[in-house]
């Protein structure tokens, strides 16, 4: 597990691609999260939030989960106007997502949550864009465990405007449109998620508790790709239109090398 984590962290730091999976692919989500935990420790940077992604049938039945999680590091939580960075030799996509910020920690010892209990841990909601990218170009072609093992295929989060009075704003019932270079790619609503965006928050909170990760106020939850996972290339312009809640956009750029690859 540690060698796989080192390979992914090294490739991310050097911004180089991985032609093949760097080791034996995990066969379960437990194995995948163990690799993810090893990689988080190697990065050594504070976490600013977590992305949530869907696991679709039949994979959801095989792996016993309908969603997955991956870390978003503090330096990857960025303001509007910044570029969305992708690994040019790997996989890159942009996604329109609601971002929920954790405002309170759950009761000690509690392991399961109702939707209302999960919502009570959220203080604000914003519109946003997740940049999904990995040095491994085939990351989404081998099932959710492989996706989980490389930070859930995340490489950044652009935080847009706040949704005022989010509890009464009907966030799950707004048409959201994604565009690339001005062309409409898809329009959808987050009501298509199981239990909406709060369902994603509940999953993330329970996932953290089960993994023994202490939940921190201020963390963002990127709740899932509402209109889909849209592959992008360097130089393209991605726009997420949240209707009455506003519009957020970014230009896609190449992820530069950060430091020498992990030893």
Would you say residue 167 has pLDDT above 90?
yes
- Say if 84 falls within a structural domain: yes
Give the contacts of 194 (CB within 8 A, at least 6 positions apart).
66
Q: In this structure, is residue 36 part of a structural domain?
A: yes
Query: What percent of the chain is modeled with pLDDT above 70?
Result: 98
User: How far, in Å, are 72, 204, 211, 240 from residue 29 at the CA level?
Assistant: 19, 14, 11, 30
Domain count, the chain: 1
State yes or no: pLDDT of 91 exceeds 80: yes
- Tell me the pLDDT tens digit for each residue of 96-139: 999 999 999 999 999 999 999 999 999 999 999 999 999 999 99
pLDDT higher than 80, residue 263: no
In a domain, 260, yes or no: no
> For the residues 215-234, what does the mean pLDDT come to?
98
Rounded Cα distance between 152 and 175, Å, is 26
Asked, for residue 263, whether it belongs to a domain, the answer is no
Domain CATH for 82: 3.90.850.10
Q: Identify the pLDDT of residue 254.
A: 98
pLDDT tens digit sequence for 183-218: 999 999 999 999 999 999 999 999 999 999 999 999
Domain membership of residue 86 (yes or no) is yes
Supply the range of the domain harboring residue 67: 2-254
pLDDT at 258: 87
Tell me the mean pLDDT in the region 7-29: 97
In 3D space, the residue among 86, 91, 126 whose CA is nearest the CA of residue 251 turns out to be: 86
Local structure of residue 246 (DSSP, 8 states) = -
Residue 207: inside a domain: yes
Who's near 99: CB < 8 A, 6+ residues apart? 49, 125, 126, 127, 128, 157, 159, 160, 220, 221, 222, 223
Query: What does pTM read for this prediction?
Result: 0.95
Write down the pLDDT at residue 259.
61
Mean pLDDT across the chain: 96
- Does some domain include residue 259? no
């Amino acid at each position: 597990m540690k060698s796989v984590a080192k390979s992914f962290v090294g490739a991310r730091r050097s911004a180089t691609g991985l032609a093949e999976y760097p080791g034996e692919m995990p066969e379960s989500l437990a194995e995948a999260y163990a690799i993810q935990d090893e990689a988080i420790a190697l990065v050594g940077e504070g976490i600013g939030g977590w992305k949530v992604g869907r696991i679709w049938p039949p994979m959801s039945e095989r792996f016993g989960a309908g969603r997955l999680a991956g870390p978003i590091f503090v330096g990857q939580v960025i303001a509007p106007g910044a570029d969305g960075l992708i690994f040019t030799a790997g996989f890159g996509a942009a996604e329109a997502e609601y971002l929920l910020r954790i405002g309170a920690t759950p009761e000690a010892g509690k392991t399961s949550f109702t939707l209302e209990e999960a919502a009570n841990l959220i203080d604000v909601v914003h519109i946003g864009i997740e940049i999904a990218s990995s040095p491994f170009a085939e990351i989404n072609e081998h099932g959710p465990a492989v996706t989980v093992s490389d930070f859930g295929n995340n490489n950044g989060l652009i935080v847009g405007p706040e949704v005022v009075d989010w509890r009464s704003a009907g966030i799950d019932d707004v048409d959201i449109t994604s565009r690339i270079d001005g062309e409409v790619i898809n329009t959808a609503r987050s009501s298509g998620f199981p239990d909406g965006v709060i369902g994603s928050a509940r999953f993330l909170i329970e996932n953290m508790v089960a993994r023994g990760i202490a939940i921190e106020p201020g963390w963002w939850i990127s709740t899932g790709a509402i209109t889909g996972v849209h592959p992008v290339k360097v130089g393209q312009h991605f726009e997420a239109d949240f209707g009455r809640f506003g519009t957020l956009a970014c230009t896609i750029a190449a992820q530069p090398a950060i430091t020498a690859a992990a030893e």
